[in-house]
Amino acid sequence: MFLFTNIFGNSVLALIGAMTCLYYLVKYTWKLLFGIRIYILSKFWKIDLTYFGEWAVVTGATNGIGKAYAHELARRGLNIVLISRSLEKLKTTADEIGRKQNDFQREQKHGKKTKIIQADFTAGTDIYGPIQDVLNDMNIGILVNNVGKIYDIHACCFLDVPDIKKAVTDIIYCNALSVPMMTAVVLPQMVERKKGVIINISSEAGAFPFPMLTMYSATKVFIDFFSRALNVEYKSQGIITQCVMPLFVSTHLTHDMDTNLLVRQADDYVQEALNTVGITDQTRGCISHALQHWFIDSLFPGRYRLSQFGLNVMKKLTEKGKTWLEKQKKKSKIN
Ligand SMILES: NC(=O)c1ccc[n+]([C@@H]2O[C@H](COP(=O)([O-])OP(=O)(O)OC[C@H]3O[C@@H](n4cnc5c(N)ncnc54)[C@H](OP(=O)(O)O)[C@@H]3O)[C@@H](O)[C@H]2O)c1
């Protein structure tokens, strides 16, 4: 009787072990294959974005990731509506996109039509009426909700942000409110034509709560939830909504950090991220950022990140960042 129980027990344990191994094997093989499809095969197997309409609208289009989206979408055949605060930068970017490709200089000039709209997304809801007036009569195929800001100073705890009440409204208006409001402006015409793409730029800071970047992180998770739920609501009507969650990309926002395998150059990043449209509703944008996300998630689970230990690490990183920034400023003064 004892022998029978022992053999039976061992067989059950072996079966549970085998099933567990099989579960993880299937799960990670599927993830690997899906990752290859998203980040590698998408380069050769991407959708024609001109199918969705004649124009793409990009918010925060005069620097960094937004400017890279504007250029890349123009390169892929779309006319571009650029929205930002500075009229001068808008004109310069529109001029670059509008000029014809020069074979000798290999610059990013695409000979596409442009329209500029000057607007400050921290200004609240009043800006959307005039934006709607311009966009209503245009055939908008793609909307890139890119505009975003962090605290005007370095990362810090909530009450250490200067003029915290203004910072709160600015960040919510710019990062969060702009996304559903611009969607409300453009989505009706997309639904009418039964096609469209909405790309919303969130951040790795939206994947987990980030102490010291509390407001930024909270607005970025809003974008992720909004995007994925919207995608389910309108996918059957031909509208693709994608949430992009980058890690470090070298732009003004990240003080033009040096680029390397981890920190991507904006143009390269956007080229890869755009290839993933229609393949996944949520993406880190490129393979390097996908792997970094996986490492962070595996090595530093939430209980470490959201602890006094995690906060101390963030404080140390911020101090290092400040020292690096000071050095950069001194260097640029000498040069
Ligand atoms: N860079 C990164 O490592 C990184 C990582 C994760 C997520 N992201 C996200 O990616 C997006 C773009 O970031 P970025 O790094 O490219 O930023 P960036 O280089 O600072 O560019 C920001 C763009 O937005 C415009 N802008 C800023 N505030 C505005 C406002 N209140 N109203 C209208 N336009 C405004 C700026 O032009 P004007 O100054 O002329 O208005 C500029 O064109 C943001 O949503 C950011 O959160 C960036």
Say if strands 140-145 and 114-118 run parallel, antiparallel, or are unpaired.
unpaired
Distance of CA 236 from the midpoint of ligand 1 (Å): 31
Please indicate, yes or no, if residue 225 is contained in any of the structural domains: yes
CA gyration radius, the chain: 23
Q: Domain for residue 40, yes or no?
A: yes
Pair 284, 194 in one domain: yes
Instruction: Look at residue 264 and give its three-state secondary structure.
Output: strand
pLDDT band, residue 103 (cuts 50/70/90): very low
Question: Which of 57, 65, 270, 284 most suits a substitution to test ligand 1, by most atoms within 8 Å of the C-beta?
Answer: 65
Query: Is residue 19 in a domain?
Result: no
Report the nearest atom of ligand 1 relative to the CA of 150.
47
Q: What is the pLDDT of residues 242-277, one digit of tens each?
A: 999 999 999 999 999 999 999 999 999 999 999 999
Share of the chain above pLDDT 70, in %: 94
Q: Are residues 248 and 328 part of one domain?
A: no
Residue 318: pLDDT over 90: yes
The residue with greater pLDDT, 33 or 281, is 281
Evaluate if residue 73 carries a pLDDT over 60. Answer: yes
- CATH number of the domain residue 53 falls in: 3.40.50.720
The CB density around residue 201, as the number of other CB atoms within 10 Å, is: 30
Number of H helices, E strands in the chain: 11, 9
Distance 318 CA to ligand 1 centre (A): 20
260 plus 322 within the same structural domain = no
Q: How far apart are CA 116 and CA 178, in angstroms?
A: 17
> Considering the domain boundaries, does residue 23 fall inside one?
no
Residues 312 and 213 in one domain: no
Q: Which residue has the tokens 């250490």?
A: 160
Same domain for 100 and 41, yes or no, is yes
123-137: buried (b, 16+ CB within 10 Å) or exposed (e) per residue? eeeebbeebeeebee
- Residues lining ligand 1, judged by CB closer than 6 Å? 60-66, 84-86, 89, 119-122, 146-149, 174, 201, 203, 246, 248-249, 251-254
Q: Are residues 212 and 309 both part of a single domain?
A: no
Show the CA angle centred on residue 162, arms to residues 160 and 166, nearest 5°.
120
pLDDT, mean of residues 206-227: 96
Task: Kindly state whether residues 162 and 224 are assigned to the same domain.
Answer: yes
What pLDDT, on a 0 to 100 scale, did the predictor assign at position 222? 98
**Mean of pLDDT values over 173-178:** 98
What pLDDT sits at residue 335?
Answer: 65
Are both 250 and 310 inside the same structural domain? no
Answer yes or no: do 58 and 170 share one domain.
Answer: yes
- How far apart (Å, rounded) are the C-alpha atoms in residues 1 and 41? 58
- Look at residue 107 in the predicted model and tell me its pLDDT: 45
Residue with the smallest CA separation from ligand 1 atom 38 is 85
Which token pair is 111? 């000979």
Count up the domains in the chain and report the number: 2
Please indicate whether residue 56 or residue 37 has the higher confidence score (pLDDT): 56
Q: What is the mean pLDDT of residues 230-236?
A: 98
**22 occurs within a structural domain:** no
Q: pLDDT (tens digit, 9 = 90+) per residue, 275-296?
A: 999 999 999 999 999 999 999 9
Across residues 115-143, what is the average pLDDT? Answer: 97
Task: State how far the Cα of 40 lies from the Cα of 258, in Å rounded to an integer.
Answer: 24
Residues 176 and 258 in one domain: yes
Residues 324 and 182 grouped into a single domain: no
Weakest mean pLDDT among 135-144, 244-253, 315-324: 315-324
What sections of 118-177 are H helices per DSSP? 128-135, 164-171
CA 149 – ligand 1 centroid, Å:
6
What local confidence, expressed as pLDDT, does residue 160 receive?
95
Domain holding 79, by residue range, is 36-299
Query: Over the stretch 143-169, which tens digit does the pLDDT of each residue have?
Result: 999 999 999 988 999 999 999 999 999
Q: What are phi and psi of 79, to 5 degrees?
A: -80, 155
- Amino acid 2: pLDDT: 58
In the predicted model, is pLDDT for residue 330 greater than 90? no
- Whether 223 and 308 map to the same domain: the answer is no
Best residue among 58, 59, 85, 152 to mutate for probing ligand 1's pocket (most ligand atoms within 8 Å of CB) is: 85
What is the token pair recorded at 29? Answer: 């093989």
Helical H segments across 82-141, by residue range: 87-98, 128-135
Contacts of 203 (CB under 8 A, 6+ apart): 148, 216, 217, 220, 245, 246
pLDDT at residue 102 above 70? Answer: no
Domain-embedded: residue 230:
yes
pLDDT of residue 324: 87
* 196 Ramachandran zone, left/alpha/beta (phi>0; psi -120 to 50): left
**Mean pLDDT on 221-225:** 98
The whole-chain average pLDDT of the chain stands at 91
pLDDT of residue 35: 84
Instruction: Out of 30-34, 110-114, 184-188, 201-205, pick the least confident.
Output: 30-34
Tell me the pLDDT band of 225, cut-offs 50, 70 and 90.
very high
Instruction: Tell me, yes or no, whether 24 lies in a domain.
Output: no
Given a cut of 70, whether residue 7 has pLDDT beyond it is no
- Whether residue 308 is predicted with pLDDT greater than 80 in this model: the reply is yes
Is 307 a domain residue? yes
Looking at residue 43, what is its pLDDT?
85
